[in-house]
Structure 1
Amino acid sequence: MDKDDIQLWLALKLVPRLAAHRKIALVKEHGLTKLFSYKAAQLQAFGLSKNQANAIAAPDWQAIADIIAKSDQAKSQIVTYSDPAYPSLLAQIYDPPLVLWAKGDKTILNTPQIAIVGSRAATQAGREYASQLASELSSVLTITSGLALGVDAAAHQGALHARQNTVAVIATGIDKVYPARHKLLARNMIEQGGVIVTEFMPGTVAKPGHFPRRNRIISGLSLGTVVVEAEVKSGSLVTAKSALEQNREVFAVPGSPLNPMAKGCHQLIKQGAKLIDCAADIIEELVIPGSSGHVIQVDEKIVKTHQQGLLNDALLASVDYEITPVDMVVSRSKLPTDEVLTRLTMLELSGLVSAVPGGYLRLHRG
């Protein structure tokens, strides 16, 4: 019985305890259809175990039909490794997923992307900055993140507010949204032309071990990864580590030394990640291919938008042109001390305030 590519790739995905790169190597050496024509004994001669050889020689076609039916019920598309729609950057990583499930516009997966990730328990300043950064970058790059609480959600929302599409990589089946409170966000993403993607089969629930696998896809889809806020031990740093292993750029946003959410970013910067405080810092480091193959040039409006956003930061009004103690800025702004220090750091990096003995000084803008 002839089987199409989707059925064969799903059958290969179901082969137990065989790494993705080995499965792909087998397909490249023998061809997908021919691989499934071999007898179990022949397959074992290639170094496969008995169970692995049997899974290829005699796949469970009913289980595969059920997977396809569930995919259809979820109104999703199956994108296999050999599909022209499979993201080319993701195919370059060491262990690319053999099969992806996508809901929305799957062509977005092959656009130039930047990952923005960070803490689920991000500060208000961190969430606001992630949203602002995503909004500024989204005119040039597709924003990719993990649909999680905190920075991830802020990044998706920033792209949506700029009326751009965005990619969410999830750690569940395509028929589930985790966390459940993001169902509206997920729906808005799809309605605005974005896409939700996963390597996990329909019906799969969130488990701790799924998130590191999800993170490698986030970085694998992207030209670079930006970490906005992260503790030293966090999933965001796992994503950054994946990006480095995939030979992609890593960027980190600095924060106050008193903010525990900034410690992960500071560690990344010490290890060589580029310190950034605006969208232009990121774009100038990337070679961004356009649809025609030409490199996209940085739009000066991105820089101006970022600067205007900082000038409109309400915290700036709490800093005088004379030395202003930090406790006075805290009192005026009615914000937590760690958030004030983080925002002051961003304002200082942008040349709007200066740290001086006794506090901060607002600078004149020419």
Structure 2
Amino acid sequence: MVNTSNTLTLELTLTHYWLAVKAIPRLASHKKIALVEKFGLKALFAETTDLTLSGLTNPQRAAITSPAWDSLTKIISDSSHCHSQIIAFDDPLYPQLLKEIYDPPLVLFVRGNVDLLLLPKIAIVGSRNASISGREIAYKLAGQLTSHFVVTSGLALGIDGQAHLGALYQQGYTIAVVATGLDITYPARHKKLQKDIVENQGLIISEFAPGIAPKPGHFPKRNRLISGLSLGVLVVEASLKSGSLITARCALEQGREVFAIPSSIYNVQARGCHWLIKQGAKLVEDTSDIVDEFEALVTDNLNLSRNKAKDNLAEKSKKQHLCNDPMLASVGYEITPVDLVVSRSKLPIDEVLTRLTVLELRGLVSAVPGGYLKLNRG
């Protein structure tokens, strides 16, 4: 209703009305959408609309008959001030896949390249406390997948951050779905990453208005958007209690494909992936395992510069020489203790430590608790 004295001078937009629908308390999204379809967006808030047989509670009817237009105007203003825009449910830019989930957000707060909303997406998620190997895999596969998809993730530490970075490194597109208002960066250490995503034609998405801080209940909501936006979800590493398994479950409920990376049976961070594979998730060894599932839906032209050279010929030659180093062959992709490297290489320990340091500086191994780990930058 728009006839109160404090709203007479207010010019209401369609965004106001969608925010007012969103603000109806304790009512599922699909029921709110049903109300809009039954009465019409603006007509729902008209004085003449009879809600007595609608099955709504008194607080729900009050939210419709007396919306807080001033507060909704402030949300729109705050969104503009943090350089974001609001995409409502009936906007042509609203992703069709997201409309198909059980509880789609009625409005999206977005900052960056909104055209990405209409392109095919693949989600990459995993543990915040990922192993070095897991981070490596997420980084590499994300970069490769940008030839076909927009890479979507949650801006979290660990696998999420590496997925965004891998996409950016290959000059591909990436979307970060966050659990806060867009004026807040969580975790704070990803402030630069969030800025880099926007500045490199990426997109930040939230269903939360500016000013809303992270809360535990926000993250499962964010996870359903990550999967809902995407054709499929790739889980790189996840423990059995990981939030990434929530995303995978959301994906299954939404009819999305689920993919998982296998790992060592001793890697506790991989047990969630192994469980998913047992439940029918597709085991992934390289990106073709994903691309082949969506052959009719993906394009080969998403990446801005997928043939970009990463190294000149001299660097490639040097790297090839180092990769043939017998010392490197003594280090495995699982944690390898120094005494085992000494045993395999049959070299004195001081020479082993020196050469391991050289390999680490070249980015071919990494020192980790318990020894060294071979890296594969492919």
Could you say which TM-score interval applies, normalised by the shorter chain?
0.7 to 0.9
Partner of 1:6: 15
Q: 1:209 aligns with which of 207, 217, 226?
A: 217
CA gap of 1:199–1:282, structure 2 versus 1, over 3 A, is same
Q: 2:54 aligns with which of 23, 31, 46?
A: 46
Maintained 8 Å contact 1:123/1:339: no
CA gap of 1:334–1:35, structure 2 versus 1, over 3 A, is closer
- Deviation of 1:25 after TM superposition, in Å, equals 1.2
CA gap of 1:72–1:34, structure 2 versus 1, over 3 A, is same
Distance 1:209 1:16 in 2: 16
Maintained 8 Å contact 2:129/2:158: yes
AA of the residue aligned to 2:145: L
Partner of 1:116: 124
Indicate whether 1:103 and 2:124 are aligned: no
Q: 1:319 aligns with which of 308, 313, 329?
A: 329
CA gap of 1:315–1:266, structure 2 versus 1, over 3 A, is farther
Question: 1:80-131: per-residue Cα shift (whole Å, max 9, x none)?
Answer: 0011111111111010000110010111111100000000010111111101
| Structure 1 residues 1-366: aligned runs within 5 Å | 1=2, 3-38=12-47, 42-289=50-297, 318-319=328-329, 335-336=367-368
Q: Give the secondary structure class of the aligned counterpart of 1:89.
A: helix
Q: Give the secondary structure class of the aligned counterpart of 2:233.
A: strand
The structure having more radius of gyration, on CA atoms, is 2
Q: Give the secondary structure class of the aligned counterpart of 2:116.
A: helix
- Which sections of structure 1, spanning at least 5 residues, go unmatched? 321-325, 351-366
Quick check: 113-122 or 279-288, which moved more? 279-288
- Deviation of 1:273 after TM superposition, in Å, equals 0.3
Quick check: 157-166 or 311-320, which moved more? 311-320
Quick check: 23-32 or 166-175, which moved more? 23-32
TM-score, normalization: structure 2? 0.80
CA gap of 1:316–1:273, structure 2 versus 1, over 3 A, is farther
Question: 1:235-287: per-residue Cα shift (whole Å, max 9, x none)?
Answer: 10000000000000000000111111011100000010000011111101124
TM-score, normalization: structure 1? 0.82
Question: 1:43-96: per-residue Cα shift (whole Å, max 9, x none)?
Answer: 131111111011111101111111111111111000000111111111110100
- Deviation of 1:26 after TM superposition, in Å, equals 1.3
Distance 1:53 1:287 in 2: 47
Maintained 8 Å contact 1:145/1:156: yes
CA gap of 1:259–1:66, structure 2 versus 1, over 3 A, is same
AA of the residue aligned to 2:85: Q
Distance 2:104 2:146 in 1: 25
CA gap of 1:70–1:297, structure 2 versus 1, over 3 A, is closer
Distance 1:79 1:159 in 2: 24
AA of the residue aligned to 1:173: G
CA RMSD in angstroms comes to 3.0
Question: 1:125-173: per-residue Cα shift (whole Å, max 9, x none)?
Answer: 1111101000000011000000000000000000100011210000000
Maintained 8 Å contact 2:366/2:372: no
Distance 1:118 1:276 in 2: 14
Q: Give me the identity figure in percent.
A: 47
Distance 2:291 2:283 in 1: 13
Distance 1:39 1:338 in 2: 72
Distance 1:168 1:83 in 2: 20
Maintained 8 Å contact 2:149/2:302: no
AA of the residue aligned to 1:33: K
CA gap of 1:277–1:144, structure 2 versus 1, over 3 A, is same
**Number of residue pairs the alignment of both structures matches:** 330
- Which sections of structure 2, spanning at least 5 residues, go unmatched? 3-10, 311-315, 331-335, 343-355, 357-364
AA of the residue aligned to 1:129: I
Distance 2:180 2:159 in 1: 19
